[in-house]
């Protein structure tokens, strides 16, 4: 057992001062109190810091960290957009063997942890070898992600992705050959192997996914839901690009999110990534469905996707969380600020939310947990792991903040350098890199 005394600890009910948090040998919280623990032998670490819950990264393609910052030189004679970027990404996808993928993921996960993320949802579609042949262990590359997470010490939800074809009923192209499961049965075998892979690490669990409506036949998507446990979280990309919306309308006669809402059993286990282009009806219905919109503002900005209609979605009480996606930004504070500032820039108003910092932490934490297939009642609870991002209260902008403004000063002003560190399972993560 050990204990921490936090100068400030964030609970759902607000900041608490001088809080003792005791954890057991597994890193689970056994008590949260302003009373000093009575056990005399207990080591208590005194932290002049403010602890908020560890960030949930609900959307990652780890291999893309291997090309972060390497697709930023543009030729003015040629339009550079999502689709040209995708060609660079395919080249990256074809270049790594499982060991190289593990190394890229390890570097990424260590940096996520350093910046306050404690759990990552790995939306993993690079399944086969470089020739497109399945490995004898179908989850060979997923297992490499699990190994990287275990070595970094971050929690992981492995989400093997069903990717069946190229754009809407077109054959997959050569550069997509590492992604492809031809049938639902092929995908279910991959899911089974992935379920075995997550057992190697006690901080790993499983989700399931379809890459996008363009990548899997509608009937295959529908039948997948008959075959997979209703307990697993489901993830899918949708409505990231205008061309994708137009293609979907041409092939399925509906917009992507509209099709999902009309044809799948949408509920709180659904995590729909991007949702950038929604009409009024989709915004209302998506919010009412209790699905989680996974927003990746750093990547969406980098790729020129567009701006999610967060102001309207929030007015309908829609659920959302964040992800780093292509890893062009690994800073959760930057991504949260992007979300608010993109609304301010388009609305010409500052009040996207009444209390932006609290709203953004609440949404990204609880819905991020749900994206991992987990449920919690509070930011820190007895029986749950002590996972926290801890900010240094001696930093001038935090020292000068009253309790009322402290969370805003963290979210809108701080950077990862202002952290005391990240606690995961009751221990400081040790950045030895």
- Give the binding-site size for Zn ion (rule: CB under 5 A): 1
CB 121 to Zn ion: min, Å: 10
CB 103 to Zn ion: min, Å: 21
Bridge-based pairing of strands 155-162 and 204-206 is parallel
Q: Which of residues 291-330 bind Zn ion (CB under 5 A)?
A: 325
d(CA 57, CA 321): 8
274 has catalytic annotation: yes
Q: Binding mask 219-258 vs Zn ion (x if CB under 5 A, - otherwise)?
A: ----------------------------------------
d(CA 295, CA 59): 8
Q: Which CB sits closer to Zn ion, 325 or 395?
A: 325
d(CA 380, CA 393): 19
CB 40 to Zn ion: min, Å: 51
d(CA 288, CA 284): 6
Helix-strand-coil split of the chain, %, nearest 5: 40, 20, 40
Q: Which CB sits closer to Zn ion, 89 or 197?
A: 89
Q: Which CB sits closer to Zn ion, 190 or 236?
A: 236
Q: Which of residues 121-140 bind Zn ion (CB under 5 A)?
A: none
235 has catalytic annotation: no
d(CA 425, CA 177): 39
| 267, 290 contact by CB (below 8 A) | yes
Tell me which H or E stretch contains 399: helix 396-399
75-104: string of b/e by CB count within 10 Å (b at 16+)? eeeeebebeebbeebbebbbebebeebbeb
CB 140 to Zn ion: min, Å: 21
Q: Which residue is nearest to Zn ion (CB)?
A: 325
Q: Which CB sits closer to Zn ion, 258 or 325?
A: 325
Tell me which H or E stretch contains 123: strand 117-124
- Catalytically annotated residue among 274, 327, 340, 387: 274
Q: Which CB sits closer to Zn ion, 66 or 356?
A: 66
CA quadruple 306, 311, 314, 316: dihedral sign: negative
Q: How far is CA 296 from the centre of its chain?
A: 8
| 286, 275 contact by CB (below 8 A) | yes
How far apart, in Å, do the first and last CA atoms of the chain sit? 28
Q: Binding mask 15-54 vs Zn ion (x if CB under 5 A, - otherwise)?
A: ----------------------------------------
CB 325 to Zn ion: min, Å: 5
CB 161 to Zn ion: min, Å: 9
Q: Which CB sits closer to Zn ion, 244 or 325?
A: 325
Kindly state the DSSP code that residue 325 receives in the 8-state scheme: B
Q: Which of residues 363-382 bind Zn ion (CB under 5 A)?
A: none
- Catalytically annotated residue among 305, 325, 335, 387: 325
Query: CA 53, 58, 59: angle at the middle one, nearest 5?
Result: 145
Query: Which residues of this chain interact with Zn ion, rule CB under 5 A?
Result: 325
> Which residue numbers are catalytic?
274, 325
């Amino acid at each position: 057992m050990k204990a921490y005394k936090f100068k400030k600890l964030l609970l759902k009910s607000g900041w608490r001062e001088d809080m003792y948090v005791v954890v057991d040998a597994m890193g689970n919280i056994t008590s949260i109190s302003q009373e000093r623990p009575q056990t005399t032998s207990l080591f208590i670490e005194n932290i002049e810091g403010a602890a908020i819950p560890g960030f949930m990264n609900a959307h990652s393609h780890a291999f893309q960290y291997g090309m972060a910052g390497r697709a930023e030189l543009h030729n003015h004679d040629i339009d550079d957009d999502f689709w040209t970027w995708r060609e660079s990404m395919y080249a990256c996808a074809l270049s790594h063997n499982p060991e190289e993928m593990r190394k890229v993921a390890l570097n990424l996960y260590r940096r996520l942890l350093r910046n306050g993320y404690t759990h990552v949802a790995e939306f993993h579609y690079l399944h086969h070898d470089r020739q497109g042949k399945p490995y004898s262990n179908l989850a060979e590359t997923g297992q490499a992600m699990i190994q990287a997470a275990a070595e970094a010490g971050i929690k992981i939800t492995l989400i093997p992705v069903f990717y069946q074809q190229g754009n809407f009923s077109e054959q997959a192209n050569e550069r997509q050959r590492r992604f492809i499961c031809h049938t639902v049965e092929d995908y279910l075998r991959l899911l089974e192997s992935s379920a075995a892979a997550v057992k190697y690490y006690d901080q790993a669990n499983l989700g399931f996914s379809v890459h996008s409506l363009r990548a899997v036949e509608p009937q295959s998507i529908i039948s997948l839901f008959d075959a997979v446990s209703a307990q697993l979280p489901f993830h899918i990309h949708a409505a990231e690009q205008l061309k994708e919306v137009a293609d979907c309308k041409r092939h399925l006669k509906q917009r992507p999110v509209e099709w999902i809402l009309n044809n799948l059993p949408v509920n709180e286990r659904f995590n729909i990534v991007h949702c950038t282009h929604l009409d009024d009806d989709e915004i209302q219905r998506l919010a009412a469905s209790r699905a989680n919109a996974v927003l990746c503002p750093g990547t969406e900005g980098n790729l020129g996707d567009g701006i999610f209609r967060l102001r309207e979605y929030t007015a309908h009480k829609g659920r959302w969380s964040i992800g780093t996606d292509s890893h062009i930004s690994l800073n959760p504070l930057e991504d949260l600020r992007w979300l608010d500032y993109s609304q301010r820039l388009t609305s010409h108003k500052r009040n996207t939310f009444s209390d932006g910092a609290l709203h953004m932490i609440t949404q990204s934490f609880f819905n991020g947990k749900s994206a991992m297939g987990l449920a919690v009642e509070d930011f820190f609870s007895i029986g749950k792991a002590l996972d926290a991002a801890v900010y240094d209260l001696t930093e001038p902008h935090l020292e000068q903040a009253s309790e009322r403004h402290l969370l805003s000063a963290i979210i809108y002003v701080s950077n990862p350098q202002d952290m005391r560190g990240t606690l995961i399972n009751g221990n400081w993560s040790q950045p030895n890199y």
